[in-house]
A and B are shown apart, each in its own frame.
Chain A
Amino acid sequence: MKNVLGALMGAAALSLSVPALAETTLTIATVNNSDMIRMQGLTSEFTAKNPDIQVKWVTLEENVLRQRVTTDIATKGGQFDVLTIGTYEVPIWAKKNWLVPLDKLPADYDVSDLLPKIKDAVSVDGKLYAAPFYGESSMTMYRTDLFEKAGLKMPDSPSWDFVIDAAKKITDKSAGVYGICLRGKAGWGENMAFLTAMANSYGARWFDEKWEPQFNTPEWKKTLSTYVELMKEAGPPGASSNGFNENLALFDAGKCGIWIDATVAASMVSNPKDSKVADKVGFALAPNTGLGKNANWLWAWSLAVPAGSKKVEAAEKFIAWATSKDYTKLVASKEGWSNVPPGTRTSLYQNPDYLKVAPFAKPTLASIDAADPNKPTVKPVPYVGVQYAAIPEFQGIGTSVGQQFSAALSGSTTVDQALSAAQSATEREMKRAGYIK
């Protein structure tokens, strides 16, 4: 009997000890873009080195993912161990103590190698709250053949006057070539990302130091009227429903002379597998008006650990691997240097192998360096963020203002009406949220 009892206790002890030895399973929530999908494909390299960690992926469309992870983190649902979040979420969530600060990264991670502007964007009070996986700004992409034909030469840092003039000159609507393609689809991350960055270059701002909305200022009027006029004259038809993908398709098909959008598009438009104009694309900084700010934004998809996660150690291990220099080398060895995630590390932009295959590397780096989330525009602002204001209310406000501006572009409302509607909608929301009285 004693033996049986002993054996049973032994078995129980053994079965109890199993979970301690068992694998940790990380659930990673991420967006669907090619860099993330590539990382998903390379997971086995990580698990081979860390046999005690299993990795499961939840890939979702950006807006679905944002809603999904926000619900989970706000309710401490604990469904995810690693989150893919943008620079918009990091400061808001870090202040709410929803994220675990990443202060235990290994020494060879080399935090100082992260691009300073990107590092700033994912840090709060000097503490890193997310590790940037890939970073982007926006820049001017243009068709060198059309510019040559029109006798134009794109400067490295063009002015809006030059870009507007060039777009009008190279427009040939009968041949289906439009001088410029810009975002028009309503949304805080769609047309408002572009228009806010453009407004910064015209000296406009979302809010003054007292959080008063600023759409009634001459700077915003100049921005929006220039944009609407330019798109009417040199833009493609139906531009008010065009987002990144639609413009990418137009540019790839040779229908756009100039496209100002995310730097990450550079590798897509110069990839002959997808683009008909791959060998005829030039790159320059986003335009400016001489006020000291270019019309470019700053964004980074980053990996973070939600507070309350029970697998912090494993999650940090994974994040350190996925955003390390070695990961970049791994992608390069498997899929070539042109496919490594861009925009996060200084060392990548000093790597001759990368510079050889990425003609867009220098303007990308210069664009990222030119954006400053802490000083996004000419005048001082109370918020952080270049193409957004990092406050929780911004998603709603940005989208409703975006709808007004999209309507102005489609011609269903005038520029003045759109600005005044944007002003009153923003005022109402800011009052409701208690920023202003």
Chain B
Amino acid sequence: MARAVTTNRVVISTAAAWLCGFLIFFPILWMVLASFKTELEAFAIPPSFLFFHWTTENYATVQERSDYLLHALNSIIIAGGSTIIAMLIAIPAAWSMAFSPTKRTKDLLLWMLSTKMMPPVGVLVPIYLIYRDLGLLDTRVGLTFILCLGNLPIVVWMLFTYFKEIPKDILEAARMDGATIGRELIYVLTPMAVPGLASTLLLNLILAWNEAFWTLNLSTLQAAPLTVFIASYSSPEGLFWAKLSAASTLAIAPILVLGWFSQRQLVRGLTFGAVK
């Protein structure tokens, strides 16, 4: 009897988990489906779920009208570059804050976070003027730099919380065994922090990939990433839902695939503190 209840529970909780997963995934699925519809079918009421005339014409149109590869390459360079630089700056910063805090560490952390509280449009004009004078408008370097700065507070915060979870005693034990700082970092700290580092890296990459304020405002042609590519298919006057869906599917495809393959690290990283 007891066993039957357990099976039921497993079935119900599995079904509930699948349902939740499906509900969360549904908008993306709907977008992918809409990208294979004609414009007329894309806004048909009632909408058709699977039984419609499948077409790839939207993808052909998108490919013909814009240079997807250039935008995707820009996205990869800008998101990847800003993430790597942010990590390089944030790891030592978070390490020192977590393991040798001073009495100002907390204020410093809060001050860093407070920069995220200001709406970015508030500094658009000054940043634009600086970029204009430095010749950074519409350059990958300029975008990488601003995204790196924008995400740095979050990266430092995340890494700080992960590092703080690592017991100091372990590091001390390593030191007692004669480990130098370098060995301590490589052989003790890194393996323990890998899930945290991986999830911070992935989250930062996703944030940089999706960033749509600075990338839209500071790029024109050469450095324009996928956010600009999507913005060119949206329109308040004219129905381009199917084309917009095709463009969006193409834009999220790389990051979606990456997320799929790295979900184990993501989940491990997010629950890192809980399994200490």
Asked if A58 meets B221 with Cβ closer than 8 Å, knowing A245-B237, A249-B239, the reply is yes
A33 interface neighbour in B125, B137, B238, Cβ under 8 Å: B238
- The CA-CA distance from A242 to B45 in the complex, in Å, is 15
29 residue pairs bridging A and B, Cβ less than 8 Å apart: A27-B220, A32-B232, A32-B235, A33-B235, A33-B237, A58-B224, A58-B228, A60-B232, A61-B231, A62-B235, A62-B237, A63-B236, A64-B216, A67-B217, A68-B217, A71-B217, A75-B129, A77-B137, A78-B132, A79-B138, A190-B236, A244-B236, A244-B237, A245-B235, A245-B238, A253-B44, A262-B237, A268-B239, A273-B40
Further contacts, 15 of them, CB under 8 A, given A31-B235, A58-B228, A189-B236:
A32-B240, A56-B221, A64-B216, A64-B231, A71-B124, A75-B125, A77-B128, A77-B132, A244-B236, A245-B235, A245-B236, A250-B45, A255-B45, A274-B39, A274-B40
User: Can you name the residue of chain A whose Cβ is closest to the Cβ of B66?
Assistant: A59
- The CA-CA distance from A240 to B137 in the complex, in Å, is 39
Contact status A37-B65, CB under 8 Å: yes
Q: B272 in the interface, Cβ–Cβ < 8 Å? A: no
Asked if A264 meets B45 with Cβ closer than 8 Å, knowing A64-B231, A75-B132, the reply is no
Considering the complex, which residues of chain B in the window 95-154 have a beta carbon less than 8 Å from any beta carbon of chain A?
Answer: 124-125, 128-129, 132, 137-138
Q: Shortest beta-carbon distance, A412 to chain B, in Å?
A: 24
Contact status B137-A61, CB under 8 Å: no
User: Can you name the residue of chain B whose Cβ is closest to the Cβ of A72?
Assistant: B128
B45 interface neighbour in A32, A61, A75, A249, Cβ under 8 Å: A249
Contact status A27-B221, CB under 8 Å: yes
- The CA-CA distance from A27 to B137 in the complex, in Å, is 14
A74 — which chain B residues lie within 8 A by C-beta?
A: 125
Q: A248 in the interface, Cβ–Cβ < 8 Å? A: yes
Contact status B238-A61, CB under 8 Å: no
The DSSP consensus for interface residues of chain A is: mixed
Query: Ordered nearest first, which 7 A-B pairs have the shortest CB separation?
Result: A59-B232, A249-B43, A61-B234, A32-B235, A79-B220, A33-B238, A64-B231
A245 interface neighbour in B44, B65, B239, Cβ under 8 Å: B239
A58 — which chain B residues lie within 8 A by C-beta?
A: 220-221, 224, 228, 232
B68 — which chain A residues lie within 8 A by C-beta?
A: none
Considering the complex, which residues of chain B in the window 50-79 have a beta carbon less than 8 Å from any beta carbon of chain A?
Answer: 65-66
User: Can you name the residue of chain B whose Cβ is closest to the Cβ of A185?
Assistant: B236
B239 — which chain A residues lie within 8 A by C-beta?
A: 245, 248-249, 268, 274
Q: Shortest beta-carbon distance, B210 to chain A, in Å?
A: 15
Contact status A71-B238, CB under 8 Å: no
User: Can you name the residue of chain B whose Cβ is closest to the Cβ of A243?
Assistant: B236
- The CA-CA distance from A58 to B227 in the complex, in Å, is 13
Contact status A62-B44, CB under 8 Å: no
B residues apposed to A, CB below 8 Å: 39-40, 43-45, 65-66, 124-125, 128-129, 132, 137-138, 216-217, 220-221, 224, 228, 231-240
Considering the complex, which residues of chain A in the window 79-95 have a beta carbon less than 8 Å from any beta carbon of chain B?
Answer: 79-80
User: Can you name the residue of chain B whose Cβ is closest to the Cβ of A189?
Assistant: B236
- The CA-CA distance from A60 to B244 in the complex, in Å, is 12
Q: Shortest beta-carbon distance, B227 to chain A, in Å?
A: 10
- The CA-CA distance from A264 to B236 in the complex, in Å, is 13
User: Can you name the residue of chain B whose Cβ is closest to the Cβ of A250?
Assistant: B45
B224 — which chain A residues lie within 8 A by C-beta?
A: 58
Asked if A34 meets B238 with Cβ closer than 8 Å, knowing A56-B221, A67-B217, A77-B132, the reply is yes
Q: Shortest beta-carbon distance, A297 to chain B, in Å?
A: 13
Q: A374 in the interface, Cβ–Cβ < 8 Å? A: no
- The CA-CA distance from A298 to B39 in the complex, in Å, is 28
- The CA-CA distance from A268 to B43 in the complex, in Å, is 14
Q: A24 in the interface, Cβ–Cβ < 8 Å? A: no
User: Can you name the residue of chain A whose Cβ is closest to the Cβ of B45?
Assistant: A253
User: Can you name the residue of chain A whose Cβ is closest to the Cβ of B227?
Assistant: A64
- The CA-CA distance from A268 to B40 in the complex, in Å, is 11
User: Can you name the residue of chain A whose Cβ is closest to the Cβ of B131?
Assistant: A77
B44 — which chain A residues lie within 8 A by C-beta?
A: 253
Considering the complex, which residues of chain A in the window 302-360 have a beta carbon less than 8 Å from any beta carbon of chain B?
Answer: none
B125 — which chain A residues lie within 8 A by C-beta?
A: 71, 74-75
A248 — which chain B residues lie within 8 A by C-beta?
A: 238-239
- The CA-CA distance from A253 to B43 in the complex, in Å, is 9
Considering the complex, which residues of chain A in the window 15-37 have a beta carbon less than 8 Å from any beta carbon of chain B?
Answer: 27, 31-34, 37
- The CA-CA distance from A33 to B232 in the complex, in Å, is 10
A189 — which chain B residues lie within 8 A by C-beta?
A: 236
B40 — which chain A residues lie within 8 A by C-beta?
A: 252, 273-274
B221 — which chain A residues lie within 8 A by C-beta?
A: 27, 56, 58
